Structure 1
């Protein structure tokens, strides 16, 4: 490659970086009207998505100076956002966890960020949002240079046409994998129809997982009571299994329930759905009840799983 070609590429990347940081408004180091700096917001995000993580682990993950990170942790502690306890293996290091106040602060910050991004995406022509997120995934994939590169998973909100896709894919998958009959398709259709008819954006949501711009999975958050949210219709296409799609969908559903003010979460599944049960258990759900039943043309054991939020 000629020097001019390399110079042009460097100039293009630097120009994009200036454009991107200006577009997202991070040059002022504050997020909207939030009291947190960009670095503080990143630390809050890590604490909200990881249990009992050490300050050192967060520093390594985010590339933060230890002294600067220490000041952030001290500030969070003084504000009652976190708890700290010494690590058994090295009492100079501390495990950090968000308090209820800390989770409330993150939920407010996260919701504000989601609203701002949603407003930006709403201004784009039809189809351009998917093109934008796929381009971002490509940039991340190229720059990370992972030894075994995996396709990026993008979670988006439901839109017109998605319910038909969910019904078709759910019915076909469970018929092929477990021999369930058409009565399961009827149940999924009823759930989706009710979701559309009574949809309350403040309390409910559906997320569609995409890889390469193609739908590969779904999950629903619906209202059970004012205090309890229900997780429904988790499904991942066979071609996308092993990419972390199911875990990403469940974590998004849990976080969505927290942001909408629920205190507890429940779900109903079957004992034969081993992979899904593993995801639920890893996400903090506990089996609270099991009952045999005959449904979808099969003898099954229905299970209720729950967790606090």
Structure 2
């Protein structure tokens, strides 16, 4: 296991680093064009503007004070939660960090007694999809998209609290 830490609060610079991390990884690994970075930046601003520490949480993975991973829970209307920005640098995958993040996300989701949760993802992210399904998320729909400059399959997953 690498020497890493997880923090649950935002500090100045985190939002731009999150967008940069996504842009870099999704371009290098999947060929997403610059429109994806703009989309992430816009949605991160949306998260920040509606952020409520009693309802929302971030998990920021750092190694030597450098962000190497991220996930957040964003509250939505009607007591729903959205899982967003689940990402890890390639060198940190396969070490249990993603599983730990997902478990902590689920624990917070249950602690706050959300009615349901949802997420959007794309094909080619099989390890993340496996984690979502392992924790009870079910694929509801899928559609072909070219939103980020490449042809891809977008998928919508839901989790309903028992």
TM-score normalized by structure 2? 0.90
Highest CA radius of gyration, 1 or 2? 1
Aligned-residue CA RMSD in angstroms? 1.6
Name the SS for the 2:78 alignment partner: coil
| CA deviations over 1:269-307 (Å, ceiling 9, x no partner) | 012222211121222211121112221001111111122
Name the SS for the 2:146 alignment partner: strand
| CA deviations over 1:136-187 (Å, ceiling 9, x no partner) | xxxxxxxxxxxxxx22543211222111110111001000001100000001
Give the alignment partner of residue 215 of structure 1, picking from 49, 56, 67.
Answer: 67
- Runs of 5+ consecutive residues of structure 1 not aligned to the other structure: 1-149
- Runs of 5+ consecutive residues of structure 2 not aligned to the other structure: none
Q: How many residue pairs end up in the alignment?
A: 160
8 Å contact from structure 1 (residues 222, 232) kept in 2: yes
- d(CA) in 2 for partners of 1:263, 1:152: 35
| 1:159 match | 11
Identify, as 1 or 2, the structure richer in strand. Answer: 2
Identify, as 1 or 2, the structure richer in helix. Answer: 1
- Tell me which of the two structures has the higher relative contact order, counting C-alpha pairs closer than 8 angstroms and 6 or more residues apart: 2
Alignment of 1:277 with 2:129, yes or no, is yes
Alignment of 1:240 with 2:92, yes or no, is yes
Q: CA deviation at 1:212?
A: 4.7
TM-score normalized by structure 1? 0.49
- d(CA) in 2 for partners of 1:222, 1:186: 19
| 1:179 match | 31
Name the SS for the 1:298 alignment partner: coil
